Structure 1
Amino acid sequence: MKKNEGLSEQVYNYLLFQILSNELKPGEKIAEAKIAQEFNTSRTPIREAMRKLESQGLIQIFPKRYAQVATFSEKEIQDIGMIRISLDILSIKLVAINGSKAELLNLKSIAVQCLDAFRNNDGVQRRKLDSDFHKELCRISKNNLLFNMQEDLSLKIQFILMHNDFKSVNDEQHLYQHIQIVDSLIEGNIEHALQLDIQHLSEFYCLDIDSPIEFFLKNA
């Protein structure tokens, strides 16, 4: 059992890298036999790894048929955007109460690194750090359930960032908004931080909502 658990984790990491580096593309079938041969293993640990990836939304399993890399519709992407904004709003409010100056400076460092990765054309690192920024915002809210919900979205978001061309935003300006959000938090301007974050994500996910700031903050 322990050997299988170790192999399952190895296969999981292998497939995750293949998916997030675009070696495996959306809708592409996963060749179980080839992976089994490469790892010199039965299909049991491979299927365990695939079930984990399915639970994270990165692959789709069709029992007794095949598994393939996931695809996301425009509606599904917008649904993720709605949830992400809601999580960030609560995170920002809690960070204002529970976050320390040191934690906010670390959050700003992640934002700066993300922008640097974009400027250096490092797409993999840019996507990871973009996701890490919002996860860290949740983490310093000191609400573990909130963090777990954001972490659950993290890999889906990296995947979506890779495979969708968000022409509605200027990438550099979009990533610079991370820095502006943190600066507002450091200054204690929570309302401005909330407005920036809502604008940041609603534009990115092309949410079909009139006055998104009012929509998300009314009665919030």
Structure 2
Amino acid sequence: MKEEQAYKTIKNMIVQGKFSMQESISINGLAEEMNMSRTPVHKALAQLEREGYITITPQVGVFVRRPEPKEIQDRLQLCVAIDVFLAEQASRSITELQLEELKKVLEAMEFPGVAADDYEALNVQFHTIICKAANNDFAFRTNKINWDYLNYVNISDELFQGGNREQSQAEHRMIYYALKDRDTKLTELLVRKHLMRVAQFITEKYTHVNA
């Protein structure tokens, strides 16, 4: 669908920093660049506004927005709650194939010298496997939208370096073994503790950068 194509293209342009926050995004320019009418562009922009990427002000323009720290904190709390719920469900339904896939990702995360960007991608893959193992597509899709947005606004390099990485590796390994043992309560506890640490780090870093 053209609307979906427009959504993915414009979102990618925003994430890559193609627009400044002071620059009004031209709807006509986007439509011309993507070789489509204004209608799918308008629909795509409406969805991106609902997800928090832009602000649409009638008679003024369309602008990339920077959220307040409170919004980031609220989104993080929601993400943690949904991910903990999905992990708890996954502890009951995860397959041996998914556990094996999780183990391979974990081993890649623990490989010496892996770059921060690669580690971050592996981290996302690790949690995605768990969330998909819960077999709740609606919750997974809802949380993916929020995590995508948080990844877009967050400066997370320090989260995956030095002592932070070592702690991350230890926490992921404990989560893996809790899932392997089908220990629902321990899985829930470990995922909550792990994600709350991440949420606190992101909140403090974002607040400091945008102070």
Q: Partner residue of 1:97?
A: 92
1:141 aligns to 2:137 (yes or no): no
1:166 and 1:184, CA in 2 relative to 1: closer, same or farther beyond 3 A? same
1:186 aligns to 2:180 (yes or no): yes
Structure 1 unaligned segments of length 5 or more: list them: 208-220
Q: Once the 2 structures are TM-superposed, how far is the Cα of residue 99 of structure 1 from its aligned partner? A: 1.4
- Which residues of 2 match residues 109-148 of structure 1 at below 5 A? 109-111=104-106, 119-122=114-117, 129-148=122-141
- What SS does structure 2 have at the residue aligned with 1:68? strand
CA–CA distance in structure 1, aligned partners of residues 160 and 128 of structure 2: 24
1:196 aligns to 2:187 (yes or no): no
CA–CA distance in structure 2, aligned partners of residues 16 and 119 of structure 1: 28
Q: Partner residue of 2:206?
A: none
- 1:152-171 deviations in whole A, cap 9, x for unaligned? 3232132133x467679855
1:77 and 1:112, CA in 2 relative to 1: closer, same or farther beyond 3 A? farther
CA–CA distance in structure 2, aligned partners of residues 138 and 27 of structure 1: 37
Contact 2:21 2:65 in 1 (8 A): yes
1:114 and 1:53, CA in 2 relative to 1: closer, same or farther beyond 3 A? farther
Structure 2 unaligned segments of length 5 or more: list them: 202-211
1:156 aligns to 2:156 (yes or no): no
Question: In structure 2, what residue type is equivalent to 1:74?
Answer: P
Identity %, equivalent residues: 22
Q: Partner residue of 1:76?
A: 71
- What SS does structure 2 have at the residue aligned with 1:205? helix
1:38 aligns to 2:41 (yes or no): no
Aligned residues: 198
Q: So what's the TM-score if we normalise by structure 1?
A: 0.71
- What SS does structure 2 have at the residue aligned with 1:206? helix
- 1:12-34 deviations in whole A, cap 9, x for unaligned? 22212222333345675423233
- 1:76-134 deviations in whole A, cap 9, x for unaligned? 11112211221122222211211112112223444555677x93243xx6555544443
